[in-house]
Structure 1
Amino acid sequence: MMDEAASQQQKRTPDEDIAEAVESDIIFGRLKPGERLREEALLERFGHTRHFIRLALTRLEKKGILVHTRNVGAAVRAFTIPEVEEVYDVREMIQRQAALRIALPAEADDIARIAAIQRDYAACVKAGDLRGIHACNDRFHLAIFALCKNSHLLALVKQYMDLTYVIRTVTFSDPKALEASRKQHELMIEQLRGRDNWALAELCVQHLRPNKDKYLGRLRETEAARARKPAE
């Protein structure tokens, strides 16, 4: 009998594969914020029809990873400094509220399931598997916030995770940042065994800030470099 993973693989459509490949390009830094995705180049690369290329781009636009500008086309989402601050204000509010609504201590089965995801995450960090790091990281956090038992709040958490996709990838290739993230994940699991929702909520908020700060640092460096560049 075909196992579930193989069955799911068979059900995948070309646009899903294309979208996943573009996401990988962003994770590995092959596509930068603001960079355009030209349909002709994607047609040549993937060999599918324009229909599937456009479906893939639409899929990524709905997640907030790409933006579409009329008469220009699709591009990797880029943020200004004020936009980063505003979006992360919202992310912090959403995730804090989700953490505060988790019934502590969490059920043993839930903790065991989240701990298993964390082991997968740690293995990906050790192997330098950037795609796996991203996937396991999302699974880990969504599994925790699902414990708030509010599907609408969880959907908002996921929406803003996707919206900040480009920002969240900036530390994936930084071993020190990944190790710090791994340790914070372990602390979150310990908090799930306790009774202090405020401590859990604060940890979840603090966990967001390294990516935000690094992305803002890059934006400020770019602005400073432009300011130093002599007018042509």
Structure 2
Amino acid sequence: MIDLEVPPGDEHEDIRIVRALEEDIIFGRLAPGARLTEDSLLSRFPVTRHFVRQALVQLEQMGIIVRERNKGATVRSLTPSEVRQIYDVRELIQRQAALLIPLPAPHSLIETLLAIHKEHGEHIENGYLRGVHETNDRFHLTLFGACGNKYLVQSIELYMRYSLPVRANSMSDRAALDISHSHHRLMIDMLSGRDNWVLAQLCVDHLQPSKRRYIELVEK
């Protein structure tokens, strides 16, 4: 993952721009399809055009924006068909990762996930959406990291980025966040057992609420 916690310094101005725009997109301040022009970003951030362009490149690599020749950059907007295709892949790779996790899992992994789960719940209670987003991603990457296949985990992270507009749509829904949080706890509980298939199915079921919510909104 890109480390956005960096010390002050010109060499990291593009990272700070990426972080700010990522937050705008995650929390709905920039809607899908919104244009991002270099001039508007230069008026917002006191940096050179070089850093703005580098930030746009990084956001494109993360799957958050789309850049087209002669059209500039726009916040990625997904059609229902694209959402279904992305989630087809997410379901396949997350199911496979869950099936590869050795069960029962080590106590150290369970303790780490419990700590992340606790932090995630605190952020939900406090309405700190940046924290909710970051601990959610950390939870899943830690869980699936236990599968022992780094290429599979990298693919999971990539498709988490591709689905960011879908996942972000649920960030303002407290009920959706509570359901997600409860699913995380069930995943932790299943790590103490021996049934990878049940764990894998929960990991797939966990993806469905935000997918359905986004598609329903787009198809209205």
TM-score class, shorter-chain normalisation, is: over 0.9
Amino acid at match of 1:171: S
State how far apart, in whole Å, the 2-side matches of 1:125 and 1:88 are. 25
Tell me the residue number matched to 1:20: 19
Deviation per CA, 1:83-108: give whole Å up to 9, x if none: 11111111100100000000011100
Name the SS of the counterpart of 2:15 in structure 1: helix
Superposed CA RMSD in Å reads: 1.4
State how far apart, in whole Å, the 2-side matches of 1:218 and 1:111 are. 36
Tell me the residue number matched to 1:179: 178
Deviates more, 1:41-50 or 1:7-16: 7-16
Tell me the residue number matched to 1:158: 157
Tell me the residue number matched to 1:65: 64
Amino acid at match of 1:37: L
State how far apart, in whole Å, the 1-side matches of 2:28 and 2:138 are. 22
State yes or no: 1:98 paired with 2:97: yes
More helix by share: 1
State how far apart, in whole Å, the 2-side matches of 1:103 and 1:58 are. 38
Name the SS of the counterpart of 1:193 in structure 2: coil
Question: Whose radius of gyration is greater, 1 or 2?
Answer: 1
Tell me the residue number matched to 1:9: 7
Equivalent pairs counted in the alignment come to 216
Shift in alpha-carbon separation, 1:9–1:192, aligned structure 2, 3 A: farther
State how far apart, in whole Å, the 2-side matches of 1:171 and 1:28 are. 9
State how far apart, in whole Å, the 2-side matches of 1:10 and 1:104 are. 43
**Runs of at least 5 residues in structure 2 that lack an aligned partner in the other structure:** none
- Following TM superposition, the consecutive aligned residue runs of length 4 or more in structure 1 with deviations greater than 6 angstroms are none
Percentage identity across paired residues of the two chains: 48
Name the SS of the counterpart of 1:13 in structure 2: helix
- Give the Å deviation of 1:76: 0.7
**Runs of at least 5 residues in structure 1 that lack an aligned partner in the other structure:** 1-6, 222-232
Instruction: Please give the residue correspondences for 1:49-60 in structure 2 after superposition, counting only pairs within 5 Å.
Output: 49-60=48-59
Deviation per CA, 1:145-176: give whole Å up to 9, x if none: 00000000000000000111111111111111
State how far apart, in whole Å, the 1-side matches of 2:88 and 2:132 are. 25
Tell me the residue number matched to 2:142: 143
Instruction: Please give the residue correspondences for 1:106-121 in structure 2 after superposition, counting only pairs within 5 Å.
Output: 106-121=105-120
